[in-house]
Structure 1
Amino acid sequence: MSKKTYLQAINEALRQEMRRDSKVILIGEDLVGGHGATGEVGGAGGPFGQMRGLYKEFGADRMIDTPISESAIIGAAAGAALTGLRPVAELMFVDFVGVCFDQIFNQVAKFRYMFGGNARTPLVIRATIGAGKRAAAQHSQTLHPLFTMVPGLKVAMPSNPYDAKGLLIQAIRDDDPVIYLESKSLFGMECEVPDEPYRIPFGEANILREGKDLTIVALGAMVPRAERAAAELAKDGISVEVLDPRTTSPLDEESILESVKKTGRLVVVDESPPRCSLAADIAGMVADKGFKFLKAPIKQVTCPHTPVPFAPILEDAYLPSPTQIEMAARSILD
């Protein structure tokens, strides 16, 4: 086992799955790069380099560069999945989903249901999410609630390199469409990642820190921030349990409820605006199914209900901070 970054873990998962199964193909913009311009063919490997080096091994038949058309990318990938291939399509930035959302929620998500279970759609749609990288309002959103509310889609949000590899391999081997969301702010994060392939089952939360006084449920890039808040609270003897659902659909309700039953208090941290967020969804689920466990009101820590600002000082203030999470926790401990 060696240390790998979030980006390296994604690259390794793709390489190992493409070696294992010749039906796995990659499709999207700038996956190869170099065509019609100076530079090495295959040198781009995607906008952030997640697929760098794969072209030399797998070639143009399995790494397909497309025009700038998200509708074409997802439409072609959906058709390829129905024929028996296992496409991994890239939307680059999740913000572009508005262009092709019809193919996703009206077609891909419903194939199995509308054909009585006879159609399989082993399609992975990868997209980057999240603010903090000075990419402005049209390239910085975190839109997992849009996908989570669509029946027929599975949604994965890895919060570290270990999960990034294991969840992506699981997604590629799944026979249903999976939305795999990569947090841009975590790309340089490092941790130990096994060299061999492994899978992390969907719908199984990860308890990163055990505690007895309070539960913090956090998603994606908010998980490290929740851990920092928990570490600060621990200095005052406050025992915090930090839980990462890993997938928002399916959602591991059982683990969340068990944690709240143990601690009696809940803070949910979500990098999306507050209305119809996953924070609201999880808070509502706990209020409905675990109200008797609660010793205090549930607190939600989210972004404000505004577009992502471009000004650096405003963008930093837009994102939930470890201090905000800590303050929310203290407010219900009191």
Structure 2
Amino acid sequence: MARMTMIEAIRDAHDVAMSADERVVVYGEDVGFFGGVFRCTAGLQAKYGKSRCFDAPINEGGIVGTAIGMAAYGLKPVIEIQFADYVYPAFDQIVSEAARLRHRSNADFTCPIVIRMPAGGGIFGGQTHSQSPEGLFTHVSGLKVVVPSNPRDAKGLLLAAIADPDPVIFLEPKRLYNGPFDGHHDKPIVSWKKHPLGDVPEGDAIVPLGKASVYREGGDVTVLAYGTMVFVAEAAAEATGVDAEIIDLRTLLPLDLDAITASVRKTGRCVIVHEATRTSGFGAELMALVQENCFYHLETPIIRVTGWDTPYPHAQEWEYFPGPVRVGAALKKVMED
């Protein structure tokens, strides 16, 4: 085991994959010489050369489009969109080409690409550097969508994504990049004692896609969360004293419905937490699935705690986020109803 930040774990996953398979190529905006704006690819160009790790123009549609072509002809591109907010010019390539290539070609072609994107707020980046667009991609058949919450999962899930024969959207919570996040605070205060650097296995330590983890066991209520919200939910549970079972979804598509239903049927209550806006967010899908599969086990209505239905409010960033106060109120409400 090595102790790493999420950035270091992501960099290590690239290194392991590139060392094992010369078909893996890494490119995107500033990922080559500069090593990425968050340094997730630092040192890869020096180690593997400019033909395997290189910079691309600021042209997201072109980056994704060329990756699809490379994948169709046998390469395994891992591309970085500098911020998830920048992906929209590439949306047609992702939805109309990458997601459909296997099906429209009757599996004559596959599209083994990974599209990495820093997502979410918390770095005071404003409206164009802080969005959480996972709900847009979970609606698209043919894609897989991953959101890690810790360094070990970040490495293992990225390795699984690179090995996968189909396109994977890999969303990396920026608040978790440089160290652990203490969910007890609504501001970006780090508590190294509570959430130490992740112990990350060496080598090809794959974490399979489609498997959630039970981050915290409990018997009162199930909390479904992913990314940064896992730690916010933990802080809320500790602050309120509610014996919450926190399910870290890890992969949104494919979703581990078995883990979700097993937990909700045990606790009889469910709170769903995500940073993205409420309307048509991924929490709505989770809510429907829990209702369909656990209706006769529910003691109270399901509650969602989410971001606001508004363009990203830079001036009120920390009020916009679900924090331990809002999540704690939801936990207390489901216990009182």
SS at match of 1:197: coil
Residue 277 of structure 1 corresponds to which residue in structure 2? 281
State whether structure 2 residue 228 is matched by structure 1 residue 224.
Answer: no
SS at match of 1:328: helix
Structure 1 unaligned runs (5+)?
33-41
Does the 8 A contact of 2:212 with 2:247 survive in 1? Answer: yes
Residue 39 of structure 1 corresponds to which residue in structure 2? none
Residue 193 of structure 2 corresponds to which residue in structure 1? none
Q: Distance in 2 between matches of 1:225 and 1:122?
A: 33
Of 147-156 and 113-122, the range deviating more from structure 2: 113-122
Q: Distance in 2 between matches of 1:283 and 1:206?
A: 19
Residue 206 of structure 1 corresponds to which residue in structure 2? 213
Q: Distance in 2 between matches of 1:227 and 1:169?
A: 27
AA partner of residue 301 (structure 1): V
Q: Distance in 2 between matches of 1:226 and 1:69?
A: 37
State whether structure 2 residue 53 is matched by structure 1 residue 49.
Answer: no
Does the 8 A contact of 2:237 with 2:331 survive in 1? Answer: no
AA partner of residue 164 (structure 1): A
Q: How many Å apart are 1:296 and its aligned residue?
A: 0.4
Q: How many Å apart are 1:122 and its aligned residue?
A: 0.7
Does the 8 A contact of 2:17 with 2:24 survive in 1? Answer: yes
Runs of 4+ with deviation above 4 angstroms: none
Residue 65 of structure 2 corresponds to which residue in structure 1? 75
AA partner of residue 249 (structure 1): L
Q: How many Å apart are 1:232 and its aligned residue?
A: 2.0
AA partner of residue 232 (structure 1): A
AA partner of residue 177 (structure 1): P
Query: How many aligned positions are there?
Result: 319
SS at match of 1:127: strand
Of 187-196 and 21-30, the range deviating more from structure 2: 187-196
Q: How does 1:301-316 map to 2 (within 5 A)?
A: 301-311=305-315, 314-316=316-318
Q: Distance in 1 between matches of 2:271 and 2:290?
A: 11
Match of 2:322 among 316, 320, 323: 320
Deviations 1:212-234 (A, max 9, x none): 11111111111111111122233
Q: How many Å apart are 1:196 and its aligned residue?
A: 2.2
Does the 8 A contact of 2:45 with 2:54 survive in 1? Answer: no
Q: How does 1:91-106 map to 2 (within 5 A)?
A: 91-106=81-96
Q: How many Å apart are 1:2 and its aligned residue?
A: 2.1
Deviations 1:243-282 (A, max 9, x none): 0111110011111011000000000001111111111110
State whether structure 2 residue 265 is matched by structure 1 residue 261.
Answer: yes
Q: How many Å apart are 1:108 and its aligned residue?
A: 0.4
Residue 8 of structure 1 corresponds to which residue in structure 2? 8
SS at match of 1:306: coil
Q: Distance in 1 between matches of 2:150 and 2:324?
A: 17
Q: How many Å apart are 1:142 and its aligned residue?
A: 0.3
Q: How many Å apart are 1:310 and its aligned residue?
A: 1.8
Q: Distance in 2 between matches of 1:191 and 1:123?
A: 26
Does the 8 A contact of 1:219 with 1:271 survive in 2? Answer: no
Q: Distance in 1 between matches of 2:326 and 2:307?
A: 11
Does the 8 A contact of 2:224 with 2:271 survive in 1? Answer: yes
Q: Distance in 1 between matches of 2:174 and 2:281?
A: 20
Match of 1:175 among 157, 165, 181: 165
Q: In angstroms, what is the RMSD of aligned CA positions?
A: 0.9
Does the 8 A contact of 2:18 with 2:25 survive in 1? Answer: yes
Residue 21 of structure 2 corresponds to which residue in structure 1? 21
Residue 333 of structure 1 corresponds to which residue in structure 2? 335
Match of 1:109 among 69, 94, 99: 99
State whether structure 2 residue 130 is matched by structure 1 residue 140.
Answer: yes
Residue 290 of structure 1 corresponds to which residue in structure 2? 294
Q: If the length of structure 1 is used for normalisation, what is the TM-score?
A: 0.94
Q: Distance in 2 between matches of 1:286 and 1:304?
A: 22
Does the 8 A contact of 1:27 with 1:77 survive in 2? Answer: no
